[in-house]
């Protein structure tokens, strides 16, 4: 069983739900049914609170999905590829491939999520208010009002200018427009994410320890998540800015050892690997490069099937492998690296395979750079 299950596709985008979301639905439904709703609309049957609690919790997850879907659809319209959307413990994540081309596109992609949450929140509140004005009382009105409030909180929290929140992306876009330097803007927005994350963690720890307000454990968790995500984004941006002046040719491993598509996974693991100390091999059929196989990918094939599974079957197809030219800056390669090929790229010169770039090549290049240039400032 994986970490998430699929809800199917919307507009061709795979929607995954992490199992932790079920926990959130259960906790929310319990909190609403046992606390929020009986307080807002007393003297209703318990079953009504429970049904309303579950439905409201599901509607909340639906609101998160609408927020993410808005990001994904606008991203696609702005030339990015959308891999999938996963809902998890702390909200949703859209996995986007590629890089936005302008600060304006970044603002549209990042801004539309909170905008959708704000509109949803307003709409829920409006309906709750109209029903209330029409004399309707009860759990339905309380549920709509709660959904209105939570969506507005979601919109406000997400525009806090701290990476990796949407507000961090907006900050990056604004700094990018002002400075003209996208990577420096990314480093600053990541720093603001770290600072905000630490403020949240310290504040939450104080409130939990001094005031014994255990609701804040949740915020400490969010803060911790922000710190780690912002840190890795900042590192990625620094890495990219350092690799701007280095051509791919300089970091690639030239003339990589290739393997035939017709070989079996067993042959690959038992014969090729011991002879060549590489972790990734271009796969060749009829003299053409058709894909890339990594040790990681091959070793995921169950042992019993390795004798009849060919490398052609398990290779990441060429269409999903990042391709590079020898003279382009290595920095341009980073956003194109794909999980399918375990972040390897193939380098082609005049249509011929000229080299391969692995994450190890990139980190070696960075080590050399840091020795000659000193740390990034």
Which residues are marked as active site? 68
Q: How far is CA 349 from CA 149, 282, 286, 317, in A?
A: 56, 15, 19, 19
Q: Say whether 348 sits in a helix, a strand or coil.
A: strand
Least Cβ distance, residue 113 to Zn ion (angstroms): 3
The C-alpha atoms of residue 143 and residue 149 are separated, in whole angstroms, by 10
- Selection from 285, 278, 287, 275 nearest residue 256 by Cα: 278
Site for Zn ion in 146-175 (CB under 5 A): 166
Least Cβ distance, residue 170 to Zn ion (angstroms): 10
233 neighbors 164 (Cβ within 8 angstroms): yes
For 74-107, give the DSSP string: HHHHTT-EEEEEEEETTEEEEEEES--SSHHHHH
Residue 91 or 234 with smaller CB distance to Zn ion: 91
Site size toward Zn ion (CB under 5 A) is 2
Burial letters for 144-170: b for 16+ Cβ neighbours within 10 Å, e otherwise? Answer: bbbbbebbbebbeebbbbbbbbbbbbb
Least Cβ distance, residue 71 to Zn ion (angstroms): 5
Least Cβ distance, residue 122 to Zn ion (angstroms): 17
Residue 169 or 306 with smaller CB distance to Zn ion: 169
Residue 55 or 90 with smaller CB distance to Zn ion: 90
Binding range to Zn ion, per CB under 5 A, among 97-105, 112-120, 273-281, 353-361:
112-120
Q: What x-and-dash track marks residues 55-94 binding Zn ion by CB under 5 A?
A: ----------------------------------------
Residue 48 or 83 with smaller CB distance to Zn ion: 83
Least Cβ distance, residue 115 to Zn ion (angstroms): 10
Residue 83 or 332 with smaller CB distance to Zn ion: 83
- In this structure, the strands spanning 259-260 and 253-254 are unpaired
Residue 166 or 342 with smaller CB distance to Zn ion: 166
Residue 73 or 325 with smaller CB distance to Zn ion: 73
Percent helix, strand and coil across the chain, each to the nearest 5: 60, 15, 20
Least Cβ distance, residue 100 to Zn ion (angstroms): 14
Handedness of CA 44, 47, 50, 52 (dihedral sign): negative
Q: Which of 113, 168, 197, 312 binds Zn ion (CB under 5 A)?
A: 113
- Selection from 84, 59, 76 nearest residue 6 by Cα: 84
The C-alpha atoms of residue 151 and residue 38 are separated, in whole angstroms, by 21
Q: How far is CA 56 from CA 49, 90, 93, 268, in A?
A: 10, 17, 21, 53
Binding range to Zn ion, per CB under 5 A, among 107-115, 118-126, 138-146, 181-189:
107-115
Site for Zn ion in 164-223 (CB under 5 A): 166
Secondary element (H or E) of residue 291: strand 288-294
Least Cβ distance, residue 60 to Zn ion (angstroms): 15
Burial letters for 321-355: b for 16+ Cβ neighbours within 10 Å, e otherwise? Answer: bbebebeeebbebbeebbebbbbbbbbeeeeebbb
The C-alpha atoms of residue 13 and residue 19 are separated, in whole angstroms, by 19
Shortest-Cβ-distance residue relative to Zn ion:
113
Residues forming the site for Zn ion (CB under 5 A): 113, 166
């Amino acid at each position: 069983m994986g970490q998430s299950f699929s809800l199917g596709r919307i507009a061709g985008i795979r929607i995954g739900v992490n199992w932790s979301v079920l926990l959130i639905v259960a906790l929310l439904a319990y909190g609403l049914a046992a606390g929020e709703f009986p307080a807002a609309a007393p003297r209703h049957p318990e079953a009504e609170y429970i049904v309303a609690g579950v439905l409201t919790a599901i509607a909340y997850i639906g609101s998160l999905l609408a927020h993410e879907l808005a990001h994904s659809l606008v991203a696609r319209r702005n030339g990015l590829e959308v891999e999938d959307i996963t809902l998890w413990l702390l909200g949703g994540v859209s996995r986007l491939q590629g890089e936005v081309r302008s600060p304006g596109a970044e603002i549209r992609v990042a801004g539309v999520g909170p905008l959708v949450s704000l509109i949803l929140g307003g709409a829920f509140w409006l309906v709750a208010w109209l029903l209330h004005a029409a004399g309707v009382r009860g759990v339905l009105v309380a549920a709509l009002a709660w959904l209105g409030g939570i969506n507005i909180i979601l919109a406000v929290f997400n525009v806090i200018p701290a990476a990796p929140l949407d507000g961090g992306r907006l900050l990056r876009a604004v700094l990018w427009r002002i400075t003209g330097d996208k990577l420096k803007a990314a480093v600053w927005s990541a720093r603001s994410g770290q600072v905000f994350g630490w403020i949240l963690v310290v504040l939450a720890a104080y409130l939990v320890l001094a005031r014994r307000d255990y609701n804040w454990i949740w915020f400490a968790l969010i803060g911790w998540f922000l710190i780690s995500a912002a840190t890795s984004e900042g590192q990625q941006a620094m890495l990219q800015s350092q690799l701007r002046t280095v051509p791919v040719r300089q970091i690639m491993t030239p003339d990589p050892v290739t393997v035939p598509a017709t070989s079996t996974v067993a042959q690959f693991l038992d014969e090729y690997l011991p002879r060549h100390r590489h972790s990734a091999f271009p796969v060749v059929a009829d003299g053409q490069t058709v894909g890339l196989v990594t040790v990681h990918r091959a070793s995921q094939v169950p042992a019993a099937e390795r004798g009849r599974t060919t490398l052609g079957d398990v290779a990441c197809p060429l269409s999903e492998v990042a391709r590079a030219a020898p003279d382009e800056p290595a920095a341009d390669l980073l956003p194109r690296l794909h999980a399918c090929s375990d972040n390897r790229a193939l380098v082609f010169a005049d249509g011929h395979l000229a080299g391969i770039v692995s994450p190890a090549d990139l980190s070696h290049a960075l080590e050399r750079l840091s020795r000659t240039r000193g740390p990034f400032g």
